[in-house]
Amino acid sequence: MRHIGIIFKRELASYFNNPLAYVLVIIFSILSMGLTFVIGKFLDLNDASLTSFFWFHPWIYMIFGPAIGMRLWAEENRMGTTELLLTMPISAWQAIVGKFLAACVVLAAALASTLPIVYTVYHLGNPDGAMIFSGYLGSFLIGAATIAITCAISALTRSQISCLLISVVICFILVLAGFPSVTDFLRPTMPWLADLGNSISFWWHQSEMARGLVRLQSLVYLITLSVFSLFLTSVIIRSKRA
């Protein structure tokens, strides 16, 4: 745990010692609340809940997650410090977890920046606190999954831009797979594919949790996807160590 803490502190400092983390948090806050009020017409709905607010999060994470995670290993590879890091008395898995947790702190800070909208709904009415909690839980897990996916891609390349683009494409597919227009098109001829799309779609899982439906299926899928992506990262890093 001590080694994970060292990597965590080092990585967290690299985020907050330059404008990157602050810019990402501000952009996330502006996008999430701006989309809710402008496109989602939050005030016109006269609904004291945050369902429309959380619906936009998977689309934002499609870019936001890769933007946070693209530097995790690509920068180390570009500077040639990956091999140096792995020569220290620390396992690849400890380095991966430390970096991932630091990125998740940036994600948590971004979500925390949206808390004023929670105050707004409590001011407007009497919302279901459990539903808001489940929405935030789903949002965090999906954001963490996009970061974990990007972490694996980052381990493969030295270019942060290449990592960003590839990760955005993968996350876009995982968001779009369960979008109603896609599943409605597939269901008449290939219902199994529509069901598969829902089961892997970030949008579907977020929409369910935004309505207060915390399904075991969603929790297992999102956590497993993150763990598998981090495991894949370790395989890639260890192959370079060999």
Number of H helices, E strands in the chain: 15, 0
Which amino acid is residue 159, in one-letter code? Answer: S
Q: How far apart are CA 212 and CA 36, in angstroms?
A: 18
How high is the pLDDT of residue 50?
Answer: 80
Instruction: Express each pLDDT in 6-30 by its tens digit.
Output: 889 988 888 888 888 899 999 999 9
Instruction: Express each pLDDT in 73-124 by its tens digit.
Output: 777 777 666 666 666 667 788 888 999 999 999 999 999 999 888 887 887 7
Q: How far apart are the first and last CA of the chain?
A: 24
Q: How far apart are CA 96 and CA 155, in angstroms?
A: 10
* 124 neighbors 45 (Cβ within 8 angstroms): no
Query: What is the band of 144 on the pLDDT scale with cuts at 50, 70, 90?
Result: very high
pLDDT, mean of residues 151-158: 90
Contacts of 20 (CB under 8 A, 6+ apart): 71
* 139 neighbors 22 (Cβ within 8 angstroms): no
Q: What is the DSSP letter of 70?
A: T
pTM of the prediction?
0.91
Q: How far apart are CA 165 and CA 21, in angstroms?
A: 19
